[in-house]
Structure 1
């Protein structure tokens, strides 16, 4: 960042996407200059340095803001629906959390999200994870495969890296009003600009208020959020950005599943409606309040070296009440239970980086040295109980609990300190990336009722090596090896936490970026082996670290601007996830919830001539196939194909500068389907019904 006038062009290129509108960038004190829309062709998340995607020896998918807004995505998980190797329908129509299954690893699918390079958004094994609204984001990067070398503990499937909007040294903003079916309504604003005449200080304030009825009866979604930020270029070499994010979700929508028999298959000749609510209106609550504050401090030491410190503090309160179904009680009635939660989470994350450019002979080095630290403490109270059964085909509400049990009260603490080193070497067309990291992890879970403490004090080494050759014609083959680790929440026979699971990936691939274009074509093949998974053997009430799982597959992705007006995005993923060592009922089987085949295609067209000048249209198809409903592999979820439509118009062609409108229809044909089933035939999740949203925006 530093002095904005020196880096404005580079920042602009990094922030705009293939289908986006042109961006004006201030050049010193002069008039704004208009830049053409470009592809996002660089990644920071895969290496923590600004590295072109074409030169990164690991699979990375970049989703620009213009991309997800064109498709009408209103959550992060929906924004990734057209990204190969990413499962976005793990819990069907629910939008309470952003579940993203990367390369088949469904465990930890809400713990793999990072904001501005920091793991501050989630607490695994609790309700205290929050979903940030995409309105506050500039881009999403999905790094596939182990990333522990830079980020510490994490799923071997990869990470979802979110980048928040930042202040800009130009006056501008946007106001958006949206309406849709299921009583959707939202108002959003985004304003930015310089504060002083010297343009040393810039601000940005972004906010949204939205609400809707959920697909299921008696359930609503409600959100209010605001994000103020301030950038101060203290000197030409030192810059600090202060950020805050405040979000309140008074209503968190639906989050439950129903039996396979009655959803996928008929139950005595009947099927449950996809709007059925099996809970109790008077005992249904999900309220989430969170406040996050922090800063990014960047200093250029000299021409070749710079330092960066990022810090975030999070305070989150979650309250949950839920009545849910668990299997059939009779021919028409479902068993019901009650669970609740009151959680108070505080988390602190700090990342310190020093980056330098060094040349040794014919080899150029980009060296990154870092030390990061994170801690979180979550005080949880989890009540439970029993409720009368409910008729799934003719429900009546108003029941009271038949029993309420004493709550579990736990204090969960975790600390992690990591030291990492990375060297990116370049000579001629060769690119070699080497990295290593050492972590110290401390976990302490205290049962407040019994006083029993489960502890883990562990050290871990993670590494990565990648080799790539960039030909002059834009072809870049690569091969890489990387590792990961992830602490377990389960305990052994002695009541101690199990050792962390460990993942190893070998990946090879080929990228092609035609010279003079921002088009990008990617082919990747991978194999990930994870061991030390928690497994409970028959007749045992405790867990052992003996489980192993393997994921292997192929992913193809293409993003191309075929003509000045037509852009196309296509993707295919084949993913095979097998339990190598596990409980007897699933050993050797395929994991549930993971589609073996994913095929997506999106085409967008902008009209520039004739009576349709100013209009744009997009059409997309998503095909999901071969999903097991249980780890025993006794049942499957039927394949499904979804069609999405987008229509828009820019009224500047009619003299209304900055005004545009958009109509998005997701699941255009209103396909009724079950999206996935958890490792139990009692929890299957209906997919989202047809969603229609109309928006009017004014950019200034």
Structure 2
């Protein structure tokens, strides 16, 4: 069946699946379901209501917690016990219950931890004991603050005999409660209060507690005052409440779940591939302004031929290879994002998948995938406004509004808006940016949800991408050093960009184990060019820059439809999580450009405004690419500590390129298989050893001398690594990889002006990343990367040359601390160091960009819903180079800058 015939059939199949599906009854759950007791008229402590006592070292299944009227008061030694069963035996409810807060109150015998929710009766519990730890998993719930953000509760040494109590999001649909005893498994009582929520009552094992004395507890303060829940009122015993520990929005610095690696809510430790996440709290603490600043926190990421603050494109490199076309939005590939990246106001977090992602996402870079997870609607009203001011006339304002549109909260909205204007250390540079992103979510039923998204970005700006020559910056020039602020374009050079994106995401659950997703996005990008740029520096005087101009513009359109099913099933004792579906994309491009000679420029004594020269060429081209991908992936749980990942994808694509001036047209077709195999072994629960093999492909356009079409560029990846949980809030990943890029186009040595596919490049290296909370209030995100790249086959460049703009050594560290108690509670400090080693400026390796070391400092203060911060970037005003395009375009980095920001939530 041809491509055009196959597309309508697949679309029709997708529509029928949605229309004929009807909800099915939830499967019977063998774990405990908690039922609310009737409201008590007693005004005393909640511990006076009905309770269920459990000791984790005993095992006796109980089908449910009975109502108050049904409970016979037991004798002193009689105990009802929670079920102890493997998590995989629990069939979670289709509804994920939100726990909106956690409170801790001391009692005469210990402490009670309250999970605040109005749906305690819908919770399911599975408990077990490991060593001295009592652990309860709630597999149909999530910790969510009223703002919609995730958080983690922790109390160290709250009572005698207990070293720590934590309540955290174990994965996207499971809360884990852990109580660690000093010498033995603690005694825990559980009951459901109609006014409070689900309550865990932990008894002290110290004699003083049994005698009614006040237990010794630490009282850590909140890290995020604007999201802190209110402490409970004193109980009948007169004890003061213990304050809540919140480690930060989106699980602080260490989110435990990423959807980018598997398209499922899988804990990162179960994915046999390196994944790093830059969460919301890091973006806020660093006051990130663009994608380049955010990606400094990911080891193995380098900046391509561009400037982070004034760049025309994003141009990141992952493990040495360009990833500009591998920037995704909510799991959907969108090449226009590399030109106009969404404003940080609309980004919740950034997930970076290292290595090929072709099995799930199709064509793309061998280095990896950058997925921008955008902000979604919240179920409770949330309003935030923010204003910033900084160096070089930087001004910015933003707001974030969200909440329900009806009483039943089935219609939710979110609206993000940002506007900013800035100049630069670069001469006559000026930029504005306007961003708006509305989102509407409709909970059609308890099993079906539909989300609509739109986004508009308008970025009128001067052409500031232009660099300066290597001779006079990186290399010596007998005339001296070219000033850092020199702009070699013209004062009236512009490069205006506008983009519009719209899409939907439909999710439907057939049952508790099978889910359907259909997502679509459409993007339109318009660029208007009117600029001058350099092409060569005269060797005779090292003063005169030859320049050309370009006038015109281009339009790009991209459409992406992704439809797949996620299902869980078992074959005997082996558990499976299947993902299978198809992906349709279409890209269109129209380019109309006029190129001509511009007046040369004295780089040391420039004279601007000279008349443009004669036209040398015109272009009027259009191109389109249609792609169909069919994929299947199986996450196989062979044992509780042994997991296998298998994946395979087939892609077929048709490309058409038309030159309307010369009336020529070229078409070609390609297809490719992309496999993926990975294995995870966990010798102990906190440690995961993994290995994977995968392949990628990227289409090549054009033909060889004999008229044959070029085959797709292929990539092969081998990776092994270790993922470890240093603590409940601190994790690390160590990865070793070997990547080979083949079928690279290189110069035909026989037929001048043509290419052949004999090029090959290799990258191998080591990456270490650490992220999370070290102590209450003290967070860190850090990494080191050793990246060894080289050209292994080529007819143009020497074999053994290093890939350009890729440092062999790089290091990043950012840490922040917020005072947790006392007079200065809410005051915080952050500091970061970023080291980038030497890099080659071009593939010919004719010059080297020197290494640099940047220091940043932040001071912030948070009180209730107010936050103020001042960030000092490039604190010591280091003179450094971010990247290079060629010998005449080397890009300086920003000097010392200051940025102040205030925000208010209401």
State TM-score, norm by structure 1: 0.93
The separation in 2 between residues aligned to 1:687 and 1:422, in whole angstroms, is 43
Distance 1:2 1:683, change over 3 A: farther
Matched-pair contact (CA < 8 Å) for 2:712–2:743: yes
Matched residue, 2:631 = 420
Q: CA deviation at 1:290?
A: 1.5
Matched-pair contact (CA < 8 Å) for 2:96–2:142: no
Q: Deviations over 1:319-354 (max 9, x none)?
A: 112211122234422111112441122221110010
Matched residue, 1:431 = 643
Q: CA deviation at 1:489?
A: 3.7
Match of 1:199 among 409, 412, 416: 409
Structure 1 vs Structure 2 CA RMSD: 2.3
Match of 2:294 among 74, 79, 84: 79
Match of 2:390 among 160, 175, 180: 180
Matched-pair contact (CA < 8 Å) for 1:257–1:684: yes
Matched residue, 1:136 = 346
What runs of 5+ residues in structure 2 fail to find an aligned partner?
1-92, 101-140, 153-222, 231-243
Matched-pair contact (CA < 8 Å) for 1:92–1:687: yes
Residues 295-694 of structure 1 correspond to what in structure 2 (within 5 A)?
295-329=504-538, 330-426=541-637, 427-493=639-705, 497-514=709-726, 517-538=728-749, 540-650=752-862, 652=863, 657-678=864-885, 680-694=886-900
Matched residue, 1:29 = none
Matched-pair contact (CA < 8 Å) for 2:439–2:452: yes
Distance 1:90 1:17, change over 3 A: farther
Matched residue, 2:503 = 294
The separation in 2 between residues aligned to 1:62 and 1:443, in whole angstroms, is 34
Matched residue, 1:236 = 446
Matched residue, 1:43 = 258
Q: CA deviation at 1:423?
A: 0.3
Q: CA deviation at 1:246?
A: 1.0
Q: Secondary structure at the match of 2:844?
A: coil
The separation in 2 between residues aligned to 1:117 and 1:252, in whole angstroms, is 32
The separation in 1 between residues aligned to 2:774 and 2:416, in whole angstroms, is 34
The separation in 2 between residues aligned to 1:149 and 1:486, in whole angstroms, is 13
The separation in 2 between residues aligned to 1:25 and 1:410, in whole angstroms, is 58
Q: Deviations over 1:24-75 (max 9, x none)?
A: 799xxxxxx9965323111100111111111110010011011122112111
Matched-pair contact (CA < 8 Å) for 1:312–1:350: yes
Q: Secondary structure at the match of 2:646?
A: strand
Distance 1:164 1:560, change over 3 A: closer
The separation in 2 between residues aligned to 1:36 and 1:56, in whole angstroms, is 24
The separation in 2 between residues aligned to 1:647 and 1:663, in whole angstroms, is 5
Residues 141-152 of structure 1 correspond to what in structure 2 (within 5 A)?
141-152=351-362
Q: Deviations over 1:259-302 (max 9, x none)?
A: 211111231141111111111123x1111111111110010101
The separation in 1 between residues aligned to 2:455 and 2:427, in whole angstroms, is 31
Bigger relative contact order, structure 1 or 2 (CA pairs below 8 A, ≥6 apart): 1
Matched-pair contact (CA < 8 Å) for 1:279–1:324: yes
Q: Secondary structure at the match of 2:726?
A: coil
Greater CA drift, 323-332 or 230-239: 323-332
Matched residue, 2:283 = 68
Matched residue, 1:30 = none
Matched residue, 2:334 = 120
Residues 3-82 of structure 1 correspond to what in structure 2 (within 5 A)?
5=97, 9-10=141-142, 12=144, 16=150, 23=227, 37=248, 38=251, 39-82=254-297
Q: Deviations over 1:345-377 (max 9, x none)?
A: 222111001001111122111100111111011
Q: CA deviation at 1:495?
A: 5.9
The separation in 2 between residues aligned to 1:96 and 1:12, in whole angstroms, is 38
Matched-pair contact (CA < 8 Å) for 2:729–2:774: no
Distance 1:367 1:585, change over 3 A: closer
Q: Secondary structure at the match of 1:263?
A: coil
Matched-pair contact (CA < 8 Å) for 1:212–1:220: yes
Distance 1:546 1:413, change over 3 A: same
Matched-pair contact (CA < 8 Å) for 1:17–1:67: no
Residues 223-262 of structure 1 correspond to what in structure 2 (within 5 A)?
223-251=433-461, 254-262=464-472
The separation in 1 between residues aligned to 2:608 and 2:290, in whole angstroms, is 31
Distance 1:433 1:65, change over 3 A: same
Distance 1:25 1:363, change over 3 A: farther
Q: CA deviation at 1:2?
A: 8.1
Match of 2:377 among 157, 160, 167: 167
Q: CA deviation at 1:639?
A: 1.1
Distance 1:409 1:17, change over 3 A: farther
Q: Deviations over 1:556-608 (max 9, x none)?
A: 01113111121222211000111111124322211111111001111211012
What runs of 5+ residues in structure 1 fail to find an aligned partner?
27-32
Q: Secondary structure at the match of 1:259?
A: coil
State TM-score, norm by structure 2: 0.72
Q: CA deviation at 1:635?
A: 2.4
The separation in 2 between residues aligned to 1:135 and 1:17, in whole angstroms, is 20
Q: Deviations over 1:126-153 (max 9, x none)?
A: xx83211111011100001011000000
Q: CA deviation at 1:256?
A: 2.1
Matched-pair contact (CA < 8 Å) for 1:661–1:695: yes
Greater CA drift, 229-238 or 323-332: 323-332
The separation in 1 between residues aligned to 2:551 and 2:366, in whole angstroms, is 31
Matched residue, 2:905 = 699
The separation in 1 between residues aligned to 2:226 and 2:704, in whole angstroms, is 57
The separation in 2 between residues aligned to 1:606 and 1:63, in whole angstroms, is 19
Greater CA drift, 343-352 or 630-639: 630-639
Distance 1:256 1:488, change over 3 A: farther
Matched-pair contact (CA < 8 Å) for 1:305–1:354: yes
Q: CA deviation at 1:253?
A: 5.1
Q: CA deviation at 1:89?
A: 5.9
Matched-pair contact (CA < 8 Å) for 1:440–1:458: yes
The separation in 2 between residues aligned to 1:412 and 1:25, in whole angstroms, is 55
Matched residue, 1:189 = 399
Match of 2:315 among 75, 81, 99: 99
Matched-pair contact (CA < 8 Å) for 1:2–1:233: no
Distance 1:190 1:612, change over 3 A: same
Q: CA deviation at 1:494?
A: 5.0
Matched-pair contact (CA < 8 Å) for 1:191–1:204: yes
Distance 1:268 1:2, change over 3 A: farther
The separation in 1 between residues aligned to 2:143 and 2:552, in whole angstroms, is 43
Distance 1:639 1:55, change over 3 A: same
Matched residue, 2:211 = none
Distance 1:250 1:3, change over 3 A: farther
The separation in 2 between residues aligned to 1:252 and 1:65, in whole angstroms, is 30
The structure that has the greater radius of gyration is 2
Matched-pair contact (CA < 8 Å) for 1:431–1:467: yes
